[in-house]
Structure 1
Amino acid sequence: MHLAIVWAKGPAFHDKQGMNALWELLTNYGDIFCVWFDGACGEGPNGKRQEYDWDSYYAVIRELQPGAVISVCGPDIRWCGNEAGRCRESEWSVVPASVRANEKIQEKSQQADDREFARRYDSEDQDLGSRAIIQHERELVWYPAEVNTSIRPGWFYHASEDDKVRPLEELLHIYYGSVGGNASFLLNIPPDTRGLFHENDTTRLRELGDAIRNTFQTNLAVHASVNASETLNGYPAERILDGNPDTYWAPGEGTEQASIKFDLQSEMPLNHIVLREHRYSQRIERFELAYQEGGQWKPLYSGTVVGYKRICRFDTVTARFLRLTITESRWCPTISSFEVYRSL
């Protein structure tokens, strides 16, 4: 069994008390996969802001649970910047090192359990990782994003909100924007007064799980053939279809634009394409998808970053031949996976 520790802080939280609590939590409950430090930082009755010994917290976690990631106010996973369930169009995992330091104090994080904050979306800092942002930075870090929101208006259970569980389409929209946009997704489910998840919440979760499983159950590109505009020796295009996250295609070193054509072997309806870069890099800045109809290539989808996963969703088309064109990349791009699906 793997557990996550979600830690909300307040003015009564002191370093000695916090260190003792961390030690107890990290040693008595088995494997911990995540320690999630909430960004809110309140003030005490005297108006003084609480300070936290972050480095000591991190050291204890690394010692006692070396496999756990430290999220939000931590060095491993960053907060996307809002709790509305949205992330940036281009969510880079490589960002200036200063972003990680800033996460230790989140002045804009949630201060009240209300719907207004859950809907708030600030467009500030929409660009964290473009060339224009990083070209003058002295230090960069690998700091992927997490999108977090609640299945209800607030983070805690209220009987008055039993009929206000987010609709399935809204949750799917968040899923595609986060998991499908190079971020992870944390969906809060508050326990009710019985200590259980309310029936309305679990019903919606089943619907969400069924929708995701049904959409991505059958990869239509499993038996496709593939041809790339160029290939680096030892990294053939066929690796895109082998299902192995550790293998990938790449063009020659220094090539920043390339294209790959896919033959699905027969015409079939499709409305989703999933792209993945090699999991130890992120280089693609812009790409285009096209399909062939009547001997002509027609645009299907345009996107920016790919990262660990980009889910491209579009109106259903019937096609046999598909083309991926990478128009901008940092050095030579890498593609680990190209998958094709159809949702009903």
Structure 2
Amino acid sequence: MKKNTLLLAGLLGFNMAMAQEIKPYGALPSKAQVSWNDMEYYMFIHFGPNTFTNKEWGHGDEDPKVFNPTHLDARQWARTAKAAGMKGIVITAKHHDGFCLWPSKYSTHTVRESAWKDGKGDVLAELSAACKEYGLKFGVYLSPWDRNHPEYGKPGYNRVFANTLNEVLSSYGPVFEQWFDGANGGNIKQPYDWNLFHSVVYKNQPNAVIFSDVGPGCRWVGNENGIAGTTNWSTLNVKGFAPGANGPATKSLNEGNEDGEQWIPAECDVSIRPGWFYSPETNDKVKSVSSLLDIYYGSVGRNGNLILNVPVDRDGLIHPNDSTRLMELRRVLDASFKNNLAKRAVVTATNTRSNNKAVKVSNLNDGTNTTYWATTDDATTTTITLTYKQPVTFNRLVLQEYIALGQRVKAFNVEVLEQGAWKQIASETTIGHKRILRLKDYTTTQVRINILDAKAAPVISEVQLYKAPGLLTLPQIGRTADGKVWIHSESGDPDIHYTLDGSEPTVKSPKYISAETTVINLPRGGVVRAKAFLDNGKTASETVTTTFDIAAAKWKVISPEAAAKDNDPAKAIDGSNTTVYVAGNKGYPHELQVDLGETLSLKGFTYTPPVGEGIIYGYEFYTSTDGKNWGSPVASGQFANIKNNPVQQTVAFKKTSARYIRFVATSPADEKQPQAAIAELGVITR
């Protein structure tokens, strides 16, 4: 009888424990996806013939001998990534031009045919070895679009690409991520066999996370700005969609789908420069630390991973400007997340699951996301409180869900105790792998995180608090159409000093007061560098450099005439990127003719697209001395990748003298948007 009683008690205890086990919710990540999310931040490298030709999308007809990085050092790339705090490197093993960074036996457009190392080099072999040496993970991008291969567009091409893919994935060791896009452009269309391609990946690299618009490992975030939605689910509906033009809507890519069919978290891709490939013209356009911080908090801080492109230069090295900026970013991030104030707090919760040894309130501030706390199954709202003996000051809050059991939290807010009353300081939606809130400084003895809604019992792994150092906002530099330069800062009242000779601004440089009192006239162009200072130079911002060409002071639009005051074509040449001329809604082509007011020696032109609809893809650019005889275009083509990366486009052409210019928009970046829009049109004379 005693034995049966003990057995019954044991079974009862077992059942109670079982009753408190956490049931997984919804689509779940694989172990590889959990490990991938923990990487958070890694490097993208775009490198190939485009590096030497100033193109974003090569046409595949480049002489492979143009690829000749005489000082290539993959160990320098890996050292830089490691020092920057990155966890891996993904490289463009084959971009749309078809050029292979390894001596592929399935192509004649490879490093074997290049001048580099007399055709005996292998970039992938060098980089995979360097990644192994520095403890980084190695990934590859292979574009299925191939503008060089003769089989592209024919029935046999998918097998050629599968063989190419197999060659890479079986030859260079473990691959943590296989990067695909759905690019399928030009005059030839190729139906891609994605099932075949995926099978090749998983046969060779079963733990690789496959990137595309629809995963299946991770998804494109829907923009190339590196920013995820403020709401960001790691789940996505994929039925009926495919990579590329048939991908999900931008909103779905950016925010995911609540209760989506598959676990496909967001990867946020962005370049440290305006373009993806290196060009010497962008050496002074490396993103600022402030901009990179915005990207970090908008990606890693919003349940995404950040893949930051750092293009290798023509010597085969990461340029000093890029590596310097990466180190500056690392120092700020290290300082921001150095001291976890939550570890000093006493943590309590209004509801905690019992009879489960894995669940502890103390897990919330133990500094690791491998442990967790959870509520009972019937509780989808709860409050977590951090209490301190002495007041603490913080401005960053980090929350993490234990994603192995699914993403659950739909809404939460944050409160601090201020003069005996609770004050709400933030109200947000999803958490996921990691959510970081950037807040103003708060000093308090208690912080409350109220989970207001969840899909199932919340399972939280981490609550962290930090006091990040403040940064001065970068000065902004602009110029009016008549050549007057203005400089502005949004951070308090710093002193702004500037130079016009290319030198580094110091507190001894000329001080900018206002447009009324500080007159800087650059109608013929020039270089302006500016820096913000506080406390007599003890605190300083980064230096901002802006290069101007000739101003539009004498310019006049001669065609078309203004249809309405709110849509004056003169907006395209008014010196402001915030005003946009929309050419029309009747289909392409559209054109703009401008009288420059004088004969100039032109070397190229610039087109700044709008933020939003009306981005132009195909173009022709003409010049004339009399405004009547235009001849053939001095430049024509497409603004490669402009839809996803809508930054200022620079097009060079053979030097010519002209007084009149004619810009023709021949095709849209999005066929669903029949209008053509110009934020700014400029010429290059310098």
Q: TM-score over 0.5 for the alignment?
A: yes
Code of the residue aligned with 1:49 in structure 2: it is: K
Partner residue of 1:77?
218
Code of the residue aligned with 1:104 in structure 2: it is: P
- Check the 8 A contact 1:78/1:103 in 2, yes or no: no
SS at 2:426 equivalent: strand
Alignment of 1:184 onto 2:184: no
Alignment of 1:282 onto 2:407: yes
Query: Among residues 257, 264, 277, which one is paired with 2:381 in the alignment?
Result: 257
CA distance in 2, matches of 1:265, 1:29: 54
Partner residue of 1:15?
158
Which structure is richer in relative contact order (CA contacts within 8 A, separation 6 or more)? 1
CA distance in 1, matches of 2:254, 2:211: 20
CA distance in 2, matches of 1:285, 1:58: 32
Alignment of 1:341 onto 2:469: no
The alpha-carbon distance between structure 1 residues 304 and 18, as it changes in their structure 2 partners (threshold 3 A), is: same
Alignment of 1:269 onto 2:397: no
Q: How far is 1:97 from its partner?
A: 3.2
The alpha-carbon distance between structure 1 residues 161 and 307, as it changes in their structure 2 partners (threshold 3 A), is: same
Partner residue of 2:196?
56
SS at 2:342 equivalent: coil
Partner residue of 1:3?
138
Partner residue of 1:105?
244
SS at 1:287 equivalent: strand
CA distance in 1, matches of 2:278, 2:398: 35
CA distance in 2, matches of 1:303, 1:62: 37
Partner residue of 1:173?
294
Code of the residue aligned with 1:50 in structure 2: it is: Q
Partner residue of 1:236?
360
CA distance in 2, matches of 1:254, 1:6: 45
Deviations 1:262-302 (A, max 9, x none): 11332121100100001211110110111112211111221
CA distance in 2, matches of 1:257, 1:4: 40
Deviations 1:122-153 (A, max 9, x none): 668765424xxx5xxxx711110111011111
Query: Among residues 368, 372, 393, which one is paired with 1:248 in the alignment?
Result: 372
SS at 1:57 equivalent: helix
SS at 1:32 equivalent: coil
What is the RMSD of the two structures over their aligned residues, measured on CA atoms?
Answer: 2.1
Query: Among residues 435, 447, 452, which one is paired with 1:310 in the alignment?
Result: 435
Code of the residue aligned with 1:22 in structure 2: it is: L
CA distance in 2, matches of 1:38, 1:80: 12
CA distance in 2, matches of 1:127, 1:34: 22
Partner residue of 1:129?
257
- Check the 8 A contact 2:209/2:218 in 1, yes or no: yes
Partner residue of 2:207?
67
- Check the 8 A contact 2:410/2:455 in 1, yes or no: yes
CA distance in 1, matches of 2:244, 2:253: 16
CA distance in 1, matches of 2:266, 2:254: 13
Alignment of 1:88 onto 2:216: no
SS at 1:222 equivalent: helix
Code of the residue aligned with 1:58 in structure 2: it is: H
SS at 2:307 equivalent: strand
- Check the 8 A contact 1:77/1:143 in 2, yes or no: yes
Scaled by the length of structure 1, the TM-score of the pair is 0.88
State which drifts further: 168-177 or 50-59: 50-59
- Check the 8 A contact 1:40/1:107 in 2, yes or no: no
Scaled by the length of structure 2, the TM-score of the pair is 0.45
Sequence identity (%) = 35
Deviations 1:71-125 (A, max 9, x none): 1153100001111222211110122233xx624234689xxxxxxxxxxxx6687
SS at 1:102 equivalent: coil
Deviations 1:222-264 (A, max 9, x none): 1321111111112232221223423211112121111111113
Q: Post-superposition, which runs of at least 4 consecutive aligned residues in structure 1 deviate over 4 A?
A: 122-127
CA distance in 2, matches of 1:64, 1:21: 12
CA distance in 1, matches of 2:274, 2:166: 33
CA distance in 2, matches of 1:194, 1:107: 38
State which drifts further: 8-17 or 334-343: 8-17
> Max radius of gyration: which structure?
2
Alignment of 1:207 onto 2:339: no
CA distance in 1, matches of 2:170, 2:218: 22
Code of the residue aligned with 1:102 in structure 2: it is: F
Q: How far is 1:198 from its partner?
A: 0.9
Code of the residue aligned with 1:287 in structure 2: it is: F
The alpha-carbon distance between structure 1 residues 69 and 84, as it changes in their structure 2 partners (threshold 3 A), is: same
- Check the 8 A contact 2:236/2:252 in 1, yes or no: no
Partner residue of 1:116?
none
Partner residue of 2:452?
327
CA distance in 2, matches of 1:90, 1:60: 34
CA distance in 1, matches of 2:378, 2:331: 43
CA distance in 1, matches of 2:452, 2:223: 30
State which drifts further: 216-225 or 305-314: 216-225
Partner residue of 1:291?
416
- Check the 8 A contact 1:220/1:264 in 2, yes or no: no
Code of the residue aligned with 1:61 in structure 2: it is: V
CA distance in 2, matches of 1:338, 1:211: 21
Q: How far is 1:17 from its partner?
A: 2.0
